[in-house]
Chains A and B, each alone.
Chain A
Amino acid sequence: MYICYTSINEIQMIENLGHLEESVLLLVMIVEEAYGVSIGEAYEKKTGQSISIPAIHTVLKRLEKKGMVRSRMGAATAERGGRRKRIFEATPYGFKVIAEIRENRLQLWSLIPKLDIQHG
């Protein structure tokens, strides 16, 4: 029963994973200590686009709800006004989804006929 339940969800979620979600999920995997600020900085560095903290929070929450990341409370720093961090990491399911997306893309890439001609 459990398996059946997730398999249906997987398909939907993969379909629903938006561009920003995908990026943030990837960043969670890349960044060492992934939490709101660090992800935001990494995003800006990697993409050159700026992003607000609330946007990141929203995305992280959505990913957590979909079961692709999980979180725990980390340490507090003075810089944060004594507040703790919520540190995220990708779940195996998250990795699986990312891998599937990549595969899907590669499959699609390989189907482009002009690609070879143009680039020789």
Chain B
Amino acid sequence: MDKHALNEPEVRPPRWADRFLAWYCAPELLDEIQGDLHEAFHRRRKKYNLRKAQRMFVAEVLLFCKPSSFPKFDYPYHLINMPGMISNYLKIAGRNTLKNKVFSLINIFGLAIGLAACFLILQYVHFELSYDQFHEQADRIYRVIREGGRTKGATNHPGVGPALKADFPEVQEYARAVHQSIFIGNLTTWSYIDEAGEVTVFNEERVYNVDPSFLTMFSFPFVYGNPEHAFPNTSAVVISESISKKFFGSDNPMGKTLLLNGQRPFTVTGVFQDVPENSHIQFDILVSYFFTEGWGGEWNHNWDWRWPEYFTYVLLNPQAKAEALEAKFSDFAQQYLGEQMKELNEEERFFLQPVADIHLKSPQLTKEQEVHGNAQTVYFLLLIAMMILLIAWINYINLSTSKSIERAQEVGLRKVAGASRTQLITQFLFESAIVNFLAMGVSLILVMVTLPFFNQLTGKNIGTTMLDLVLVKEYWFWLILAGVFVFGSCCAGLYPAFVLSSFRITTVLKGKFIRSRSGTTMRKILVGFQFVISIALIAGTIMVFRQVTYMRNQDMGYVKDQLLIVKSPRIVDSTLQQRLETFKTELSRNPDIHRMAPSSDIPGKLISQLNFIRNRGEGTDENSIAYHVYIDRDFIETYGLTMVAGRNFREEERLPPPDQRTDPVPVMVNEKAAASLGYHEGEEALHQLIIFGLGPGEWVGEIIGVVSNHHQQSLKADYDPLLFFPIPGLLGQYFTINLSMQRPSETISFIEQQYEAAFPDNPFEYFFLDDYFNRQYAADQQFGSVFGLFSGLALIVACLGLFGLSTFMISQRIKEIAIRKVLGANLTSMVLLFSGDFLKLILIANLCALPLVYLAVNQWLNNFAFHVNIGWLMFVLPAVTLLLISLTTVSIQTIKTGLKNPIKSLRAE
């Protein structure tokens, strides 16, 4: 402003009027109109005064504001012709598609495979993301998880739920769920006796004890009964539809009685629809949380703070903020657990976890209900889907631009006839739209056909027909579909369209058209990119398969091939000891049965009993964790474990009931547990006294033997530290039978006979341990299969592109080949010459892809405590595969052309 004050004050027409003029005025008229008005303004300012000049300026700006000053609107004459042109575009596109059948098929099928892969993966991803979304209050339900004792667990103390509800107004409701293994055992036997006295009996594993609020908090729809009044008393049981079918057929089960372990009657008070597959908690039978009331004497279900075995859920008020509540948890823990934390010298912390996050976004927690998914895998699959689609689009771009020479003359003629560049681009976009449209149709058919196989592969039932797919009902699926169509048509179509429409008429029609260097480079980069993706996918597949095979074949530390597991009887009486002896003796008479051992747990699953151990005389800060296993003395031999030091349990040794443990209890540990106690040689650990069972009671045990390590869980986990006790109740949960696999079916029916004779009324249920154990690898194997499938698809699409491209490349060099042949070149040298380009590309692609793959694979392998090494195979095989494929393609094309009579190729023009 000062600057203006010093100089002659700047006088100018009113700014707004000037701007308004510039806005409405056609640019080509602006010079004369604005110029004249400005000039007139300055003259009038001198002649009259500033204000008058300004007034006149404004008036004249307004006078000029009339149609003749506005930008000219060209009537779009070309639009009149639109329908005609469109039908012409369609006709030409159709003709071109038919004329180049091979190219069209490659384009359409390549795209279709890519799209189909995309849809299948989207469907899978959608399923994974849909976990626990079906609960109406899903956004307000949180699981309270707990960190303490050096582990982070999914379960919590029974007292936490009630205390949270009492202390915090934000918590509207709480619900606890606890698996029956905590109270009774992994298995329970349920039986139904109908009016005719006929007994139906099954062993059930998926049984939970829950608070009544569990059914109202979550949304598990009921077939019979009402979730609000499902548990009128502690003898009520709520069952799933399929359990109802198993026991009662099509009858209404309401009010009927089921016996638990042949003793305790429960009345059916509700039937819910089978728990959907996308629920993090899977159960068939629910009984009231309070039916075990009084089992532990003084111990109270609601106020215990030393038994973190309970899945605890809270429903927050709609206004409540989870973070705000979480922030108050440290005071909360201090209030209820302060003394205990001091006593055990460990800190306990609680967290809220949204129920919908449990499946995919949960951190690694101990005591998780089900094997949960992996967000990384899901996003990774999405990435692969996009890669496949990308490869298919690149094919389209490559093939269309390489075809450009063929179409250059067409473009030239069109230009001569008056086609504008816009029209040419529109024409080519139409062609790509048609290819995309056809591909989309084919891909939907492909998805429909392959869906059942895909379900098998992933082990998830995500719908068997197109209409079943949840995806189809989601509006965003159609948005994605439309997006992919538009993007595919435009992006894959635009580059070729621009290249093709840019040819100069004169050069093209004179026939002097030479392939541009930049076009070739672009194509090479695109093909190289396809190679990079292919190499990465092949290498990834190799590593996933190697790891899965390794896990299945790895020495587990025990003989796993010939172990049959029979679920032990639950309906028993006082003659148990005798019956078990008879059963054992009868079995030992069969030469095909080597040995038999009852135990509380079997390999293949996380053991539910976990507690601290430490050497006697050490402080609580020396605590380490160990899993408790109760075994028969034959367990060691049945499983083929070895005693590293010390001795096995004796026949007469039994774990006494808690109130009679005056002398040190004889225990065995495995090497891992011994190491965590500080004994790295087995002998050192012998006869050491340890403290176990911290919490409500501590007892002293004496280590009488050290057992070799074995894999209790999958190879993802390290060896678990195990503490073995002599089995107290004789039976355990499982009988492990080591048998020879010579006549398995006869042997099994023999076992069944003996089992039914020894334990009448109990169902005979069995499985092979290796199947049971390998179940843990289902997810990895599925990942491997899905990964393999899509890598295969990507490779096929890339090969299609390579084939098309090399076909075209050779067809452009027919004359060159003929001349070379005339001059005496042999086929070998020509094959080498033409493959040279591809060889270089593959080499560069390898250099780009392998470091990336190395990093990714390394990270994936680190998920496994035991894993294979990244061998040379991963680096060599993809390169060799690609090399073979491309060499074969190029050679076949070269040889085919080379074998032709050169005269024919040279004469043709």
Which residues of chain A have a CB within 8 Å of any CB of chain B?
35-37, 40-41, 52-55, 57-58, 61, 73, 76-77, 79-81, 83-86
Are A37 and B59 within 8 A (Cβ)?
Answer: no
From B36, B37, B40, B64, residue with most partner A Cβ within 10 Å: B36
Are B63 and A85 within 8 A (Cβ)?
Answer: no
Question: Which B residues touch A40, using CB under 8 A?
Answer: 40
Seed contacts A37-B39, A79-B39, A80-B38; 12 additional CB < 8 Å A-B pairs? A35-B32, A52-B56, A55-B63, A57-B33, A61-B68, A73-B31, A76-B31, A79-B42, A84-B35, A85-B36, A86-B31, A86-B32
* 7 residue pairs from A and B, CB less than 8 Å apart: A35-B32, A36-B36, A52-B60, A52-B63, A53-B64, A58-B68, A61-B68
Are B38 and A79 within 8 A (Cβ)?
Answer: yes
Q: Does B426 contact A (CB under 8 A)?
A: no
Are B31 and A84 within 8 A (Cβ)?
Answer: yes
Are B32 and A36 within 8 A (Cβ)?
Answer: yes
Q: Does B34 contact A (CB under 8 A)?
A: yes
Which parts of B337-395 form the interface with A (CB within 8 Å)? none
> How many CB-defined contacts (below 8 Å) exist between A and B?
60
From A36, A37, A76, A77, residue with most partner B Cβ within 10 Å: A37
Question: Which A residues touch B63, using CB under 8 A?
Answer: 52, 54-55
Q: Does B43 contact A (CB under 8 A)?
A: yes
Are A84 and B32 within 8 A (Cβ)?
Answer: yes
Are B59 and A81 within 8 A (Cβ)?
Answer: no
Docked CA distance A5–B851 (Å): 81
A76 and chain B: residue at smallest CB distance: B35
A56 and chain B: residue at smallest CB distance: B36
Question: Which B residues touch A58, using CB under 8 A?
Answer: 68
CB distance from A60 to the nearest CB of B (A): 9
Shortest Cβ-Cβ A-B pairs, 8 listed: A83-B35, A36-B36, A80-B35, A86-B32, A54-B63, A81-B38, A84-B31, A37-B39
Are B39 and A77 within 8 A (Cβ)?
Answer: yes
In terms of DSSP, what is the predominant structure of the interface of chain A?
helix
Are B37 and A53 within 8 A (Cβ)?
Answer: yes
Which parts of B13-60 form the interface with A (CB within 8 Å)? 30-40, 42-43, 56, 59-60
Are B68 and A83 within 8 A (Cβ)?
Answer: no
Docked CA distance A91–B436 (Å): 61
Given A57-B33, A73-B31, CB of A80 within 8 Å of CB of B39: yes
From A54, A55, A61, A84, residue with most partner B Cβ within 10 Å: A54
Docked CA distance A55–B40 (Å): 13
Question: Which A residues touch B34, using CB under 8 A?
Answer: 80-81, 83
Are B32 and A83 within 8 A (Cβ)?
Answer: yes
CB distance from A16 to the nearest CB of B (A): 18
CB distance from A21 to the nearest CB of B (A): 16
CB distance from B100 to the nearest CB of A (A): 52
Question: Which B residues touch A84, using CB under 8 A?
Answer: 31-32, 35
Docked CA distance A37–B39 (Å): 7
Are A83 and B31 within 8 A (Cβ)?
Answer: yes
Are A85 and B64 within 8 A (Cβ)?
Answer: no
Are B32 and A57 within 8 A (Cβ)?
Answer: yes
CB distance from B22 to the nearest CB of A (A): 10
Are A37 and B40 within 8 A (Cβ)?
Answer: yes
CB distance from B548 to the nearest CB of A (A): 76
Are B60 and A80 within 8 A (Cβ)?
Answer: no
B63 and chain A: residue at smallest CB distance: A54
Docked CA distance A73–B40 (Å): 18
Given A35-B32, A81-B34, A83-B38, CB of A53 within 8 Å of CB of B43: no
B30 and chain A: residue at smallest CB distance: A83
CB distance from B64 to the nearest CB of A (A): 5
CB distance from B713 to the nearest CB of A (A): 82
Are B59 and A80 within 8 A (Cβ)?
Answer: no
Interface code B310-321, partner A: CB below 8 Å = 1, 0 otherwise?
A: 000000000000
Question: Which B residues touch A54, using CB under 8 A?
Answer: 60, 63-64
Are B35 and A81 within 8 A (Cβ)?
Answer: yes
B43's partner among A37, A55, A73 (CB-CB below 8 A) is A37
B68 and chain A: residue at smallest CB distance: A61
Question: Which B residues touch A53, using CB under 8 A?
Answer: 36-37, 40, 60, 64
CB distance from B71 to the nearest CB of A (A): 16
From A55, A57, A84, residue with most partner B Cβ within 10 Å: A57
